[in-house]
Amino acid sequence: MPWGVSALVLLTACAAPAPPPPQQVSPFNATDTAWVQLMIPMNEQLLPALEVAPPALSGFAAELRASHENELVHLRQLRDRAGLPDTNLHAGHQMPGLVSEADLLVIRADPSALAGKLHEHLEQTAKLARSELENGTDAATKEFAASVESSRRDQLSRLGQG
């Protein structure tokens, strides 16, 4: 091959765009991401309500605070691993088990209302965890959901005895 042709072939090869990197397939499906993005505000928004627990629920509320804060650490790690933003997609939403600003005002005015909201929160987050177990694909997220679901069953049982 003549020198000029060789140089042209070499320059053409160098100018060709590099192939795109292979796409990473996320182990997270829509259920996994939705569960993580909902459980974080479910837990975060419960914490202020636990601060005004009536005396009969104060010990249980302290235990819930500790367990929910521990869960938040794991949920945020899952969120980060999934590459999800740290924004609350459910801000201002009214849904079962999610403590709204209006709920918090009621609980602050009448701390005895906390027991009903706790029951609703624990029931709903247990249902959400079961949904993740049935429909999620990320193994670590499903394993954590199983732990949450088990904790909620225990917490509901204890709340019912209180």
Q: Check residue 143 and give its pLDDT.
A: 97
Q: What is the pLDDT of residue 2?
A: 55
Provide the pLDDT for residue 6.
46
Q: Which two tokens stand for residue 26?
A: 């996320």
CA separation for the pair 43, 66 (Å, rounded) = 11
Q: What is the pLDDT of residue 11?
A: 44
Which pTM was predicted? 0.82
H/E segment holding residue 145? helix 139-161
pLDDT at position 50: 98
**Residues ≥6 apart with Cβ < 8 Å to 156:** 119, 122, 123, 126
pLDDT in tens, 114-155: 999 999 999 999 999 999 999 999 999 999 999 999 999 999
Instruction: Identify the segments of the chain with pLDDT beneath 50.
Output: 4-14
Residue 95: predicted pLDDT: 87
